[in-house]
Structure 1
Amino acid sequence: MHADLSPLIAATAQWLTRAYPAGGGAIDSALCEAQARQAVTVAAWLRYPTPMDAGLVGVAGPGGSARLDWITGYETADDTADETDPAAEAEHAWRSWVDEVVASWAACLLTDPALAGAAVTALAGTHHTAGSPVAFRRLLDPDVQDRRAAALLRHPDLLAPVAGLHHAGLLDALRPGQALPA
């Protein structure tokens, strides 16, 4: 059981960076991935606030990327490979760990700085942030290079179809008086 949500976070961040890739070279790709991972981490921690929640999604699975792929039109040549081929199936196994709600919430956070700040503030004092300081600088305060590297990933119009899927649920989770369990 993965109570730390790392497979879900890694897969969902990977989906975001493949659907909305960096435009430049290796450094831009790394900066884009860092921003996606920070947004997905915040979203996952909000979505699965307790170790029990994380454990349950680890057992049941998050649902996969199929609907997100359809909504965004995301498809690669590898996606059309023979599904009966074990190598092709193994190559895309990570996609089963993509969480649609977490991807949608991350898209909201990437395109709305005020919402991102509220989300990070809501995590203060939860078990996710206990023990060591957690900083989300690239999500909350991206510099010029961060913004350039993640131009597609932070573009509100491009992310609107994904962000709109579960925006209301994110607002409900952040509603005053809706305390996250510690």
Structure 2
Amino acid sequence: MQADLSPVIAATAQWLTRAFPASGGALASALCEVQARQAVTVAAWLRYPTAMDAALVDVAGPGGSARLDWVTGADASLGDGVDVHAWRTWDEVVASWAASLLTDPELAALAVAALAEGTHSAGAPAEFRRLVAPDDSDQRAAALLRHPDLLAPVAELHHSQLLDLLHPGRTLIA
């Protein structure tokens, strides 16, 4: 059984592209969305590496959005009496890890390499070029989405967990 993470991936990528929109027209929006989706896919596959993990997310639901909205200031723009939490299915940890990957190409390459150990990438090989080696048009389209200072509040939420996963037993140098 291959559990489906696509609802979490789609919703988290959508949240990222709305919080950090493309700069430009339709092509820029598409390029930005592809980069967000690739980063979120890698993050989700790392976070939920087995079919059982993904199935549990399907049953229990992802982490939610309240803290992400608060960190980015989106909660102030929702207005009174608007129940937006019912349709929000993105995952805070996945969003944080994706933000880390979007702002650090070396970490993104390490994360993509780590996917070989999981079950999601079995079968057809996945392509993550726009995440790990964005060209100039990718960079321009996703200027906000890849801006380290803008993404820092989101990336820092769970950055240490991602580093622990990708660098087990690492030692911090003070």
TM norm structure 1: 0.87
Runs (4+) off by over 4 Å:
none
Distance in 2 between residues matched to 1:75 and 1:67, nearest whole Å: 9
The equivalent residue for 1:112 is 104
The equivalent residue for 1:26 is 26
- Deviations 1:133-180 (CA, angstroms, capped at 9, x unpaired): 111011011111100000000000000000000000001111258xxx
What secondary structure, in the 3-state scheme, does the structure 2 residue paired with 1:80 have? coil
The equivalent residue for 1:180 is none
Distance in 1 between residues matched to 2:25 and 2:81, nearest whole Å: 30
For the pair 1:156 / 2:155, whether they are aligned, the reply is: no
> How far off is 1:66 after superposition?
1.1
Question: Is residue 28–residue 142 contact of structure 2 (8 Å, CA) maintained in 1?
Answer: yes
User: Which runs of 5 or more structure 2 residues have no equivalent in the other structure?
Assistant: 170-174
Pair 94,142 (structure 1): closer, same or farther in 2 beyond 3 Å: farther
TM norm structure 2: 0.90
What secondary structure, in the 3-state scheme, does the structure 1 residue paired with 2:157 have? coil
> How far off is 1:81 after superposition?
5.9
> How far off is 1:75 after superposition?
4.7
What secondary structure, in the 3-state scheme, does the structure 1 residue paired with 2:38 have? helix
Question: Is residue 20–residue 145 contact of structure 2 (8 Å, CA) maintained in 1?
Answer: yes
Q: 2:125 aligns with which of 133, 137, 150?
A: 133
> How far off is 1:126 after superposition?
2.5
Question: Is residue 12–residue 40 contact of structure 1 (8 Å, CA) maintained in 2?
Answer: yes
The equivalent residue for 2:14 is 14
The equivalent residue for 1:94 is 87
The equivalent residue for 2:159 is 167
Q: What amino acid maps onto 1:17 in structure 2?
A: T
User: Percent of counterpart pairs with the same letter?
Assistant: 73
Q: What amino acid maps onto 2:126 in structure 1?
A: V
Q: What amino acid maps onto 2:87 in structure 1?
A: W
What secondary structure, in the 3-state scheme, does the structure 2 residue paired with 1:124 have? helix
Kindly tell me the number of residue pairs found equivalent between the two proteins: 170
> How far off is 1:127 after superposition?
1.5
